[in-house]
A and B are shown apart, each in its own frame.
Chain A
């Protein structure tokens, strides 16, 4: 069939890599991405492996790269995009001397960058201090000038009092928010023997913070010490404050020149730093890719085991049979690049029963989303039938049965087409939001769901909850011959299909439009939809059971077909297939003429199962009792066959083989030339055969559980399909209510004001349609469809106990998206 029906054929290969060209061969295989390597040293600690030093070197380099990246993001003046893009063309894995060059240069760059940024930071702090000092001098200049000079008499009298009467100054800068506390503490400590003045420093655009300049004039040495201590405590920078104006001006000039010098040096340092960073930005992506590839290759080489002569490495890998030639060409290419003479080659090993290969499905962008739906439940075992091939149609179809509306389906189709067109131009780079990317990945799924919804909506005759009367209705009112008085007399009148001419043939496409106008439409629709759900459900489940035939035939278990598949089919079809037959028979055989004695199918079904007979319920067809008894006998006998058939067969098979083995000699060691089988495994194989005797209990129990699960599951799963009815009813009612409450009230308003009101109401209607009916109902219906697939359909044949084939490929390492 195709690649989607069953897993691709995979084989186990043993690759012999010459020591000289091992690195290049593995890097070629990494570029190709066709094989998945197996770990041949699972019990070895990662620190004891052969190439641990190389891996360590790579990791050191990666640390340096992270440091460089940090520097780039913090200091680069022109910001680059957040993640450095993959360079094109992508560089290949580096040779050892290239790696050495990368290591040296990256370390050199890192140390240089570190030095330069340290220099720059120290220069910056010096500059800040000098600027603060200058600011202090400038501001206090105005403060001193504004104070009147002290009178000469006071000066001399104060000076006579002694050395404590000497006026001293402390000047500095402090943070503005500390000013009140600072002032208060000074007052309390110095008991008011000082004068303090504050002034905001003019805002310097280079400096981020605003400082407040203060000038404290005090007299006395002890007060001076207290003031200094308090200043230190508040982290206020104090500067030496000269007393006379000339000294201050000289100091200011000196500061100015120093500030200019330092600004020059800082500017040059900055430009050198930017140069280094630009070099980093240009070269770093390539280095990163190179080192990542080197590390990946070495970790693969760590998984290989060394041969006895130590001249070549032996690797084991899973390879698709289709790609074996590619494998050989990659090995020759790697040998050629390393300049070695001796070729590396591979050897195909037979598959042993103990190790099962991984599962590989080749999907394209359309089938990938359906495969991921199935994989979310469990990856298929190797050799098992893949339900994704059928999910492509049944998932959108079951969704559409629950969603069924032409208008909503069309909206979904348009949205899906828009997403498909969006994705064609720019691949995945446009949208960064995680949720949006998930929706974008499912665009083909949404397209098929929309298309099927349009079809089921046409059959349900729903378009934004309005009916589409394509053909004239089958129900005619004139033949009822109602007079005006009858009409005026009673509010509700029922059309009688027994009267000739009222009902003329079934509506050709879907549900008749008159049912939408009727007040008893739910009575008809519920019966129709429930029966439809049962029919679809039984068919879906029978399909699932039939698929398990392919699993048995692939694994050559023919007796299981007879002992498991046939009883399962008989049970299902005997009970629920007969129910479907009853439904269809009643549709065809009972018409308006017999409507007074139309039997209830459910009562007949219950009577059949309980083997009772009710005289009041007439039979549907002659001979019904006998047919039903035969069916029940068949169903009841199939249960013990299902319960005991397979275990008894396996037990019989095992005892016969064991009896044969006891007479002949022990079987020779099986032909697994794989290095991975230790001696213990071979002995274990023998023990496994003996242990099978004790597995009989487990097999019986397993089969009992399977039987019970299957039989009870048949009933509950059939009832579970009634959710198709429930959700389609909910959707129809919701859209009906939305129309009635929103659009109809607005459409009945007239005049100019009515058109404005209509515009407003329509936007409200559109918003609710999209948010509730499309998004919420769509998600809900998808979830229910998923459950129907995972539980009701897949439990009939699918085990999902495999693991995915993940090949060693550089593209998946460097581009993990």
Chain B
């Protein structure tokens, strides 16, 4: 039985988008477009991290479960487990 934790994905994704948004701006070479690239990296990191965070937070404490057809349940009982 596989159980997913909340902590592990949180750490992974936070570090990933943290790298993109905080560390990568320092690695951008100096040039006329440096400002634009840094802004884009920070905004991308914020938007993508936020989007993933909303998806996982919405599912941490479900108030109701999925309603399946009996055929689907039969199939899944043998396919997934």
Contact = CB atoms under 8 A, between A and B. Distances in A.
B54 A532 contact: yes
Contacts of A539: 50
Contacts of B36: 2, 4, 367, 389, 392
B4 A474 contact: yes
B70 A490 contact: yes
A536 B33 contact: no
Nearest to A508: B9
Given A459-B55, A509-B52, A389 B65 contact: no
B57 A508 contact: no
A501 B73 contact: no
B58 A531 contact: yes
A590 B64 CA distance: 11
A803 interface: no
B44 interface: yes
Contact of A476 (B1, B34, B58): B1
B33 to A, nearest CB: 6
A492 to B, nearest CB: 5
Contacts of A364: 33
B19 interface: no
Given A488-B70, A508-B56, A401 B51 contact: yes
Contacts of A4: 35-36
Contacts of A1: 35, 39
Contacts of B57: 506, 584, 587-588
B6 interface: yes
A543 B69 CA distance: 45
B27 interface: no
Contacts of A3: 32, 35
A137 to B, nearest CB: 83
Which one of B1, B5, B43, B54 has the greatest number of beta carbons of chain A within 10 Å?
Answer: B54
Interface in B29-61: 32-36, 39-40, 43-44, 47-48, 50-52, 54-61
Contacts of B26: none
B12 to A, nearest CB: 8
Which one of B36, B67, B70 has the greatest number of beta carbons of chain A within 10 Å?
Answer: B36
B59 A595 contact: no
A249 B77 CA distance: 108
Nearest to A531: B58
A601 interface: no
Secondary structure of the B side of the interface? Answer: helix
Contacts of B40: 392-393
A394 B56 CA distance: 21
Contacts of B39: 1-2, 389-390, 392-393
B62 A497 contact: yes
B58 A2 contact: no
Interface in A1-18: 1-5
Contacts of B80: 472-473, 476-477
A475 B60 CA distance: 12
A188 interface: no
A518 B59 CA distance: 15
Given A506-B4, A510-B55, A476 B70 contact: no
Interface string B8-28: 110000000000000000000
Which one of B32, B52, B61, B77 has the greatest number of beta carbons of chain A within 10 Å?
Answer: B61
B62 to A, nearest CB: 5
B3 A504 contact: yes
B9 to A, nearest CB: 4
B64 A595 contact: yes
A482 interface: yes
A495 B77 CA distance: 13
Contact of B67 (A487, A497, A519, A590): A519
Nearest to A519: B67
The 8 closest A-B CB pairs, nearest first, are A2-B35, A518-B66, A495-B65, A505-B4, A504-B3, A591-B61, A508-B9, A393-B43
15 contacts: A1-B39, A393-B40, A394-B47, A456-B51, A472-B80, A476-B80, A477-B73, A477-B80, A506-B6, A506-B9, A511-B59, A517-B68, A520-B64, A535-B50, A591-B63
Given A514-B66, A515-B66, 12 more contacts: A362-B32, A389-B39, A393-B39, A401-B51, A471-B2, A506-B6, A509-B52, A519-B68, A524-B66, A528-B54, A536-B51, A584-B57
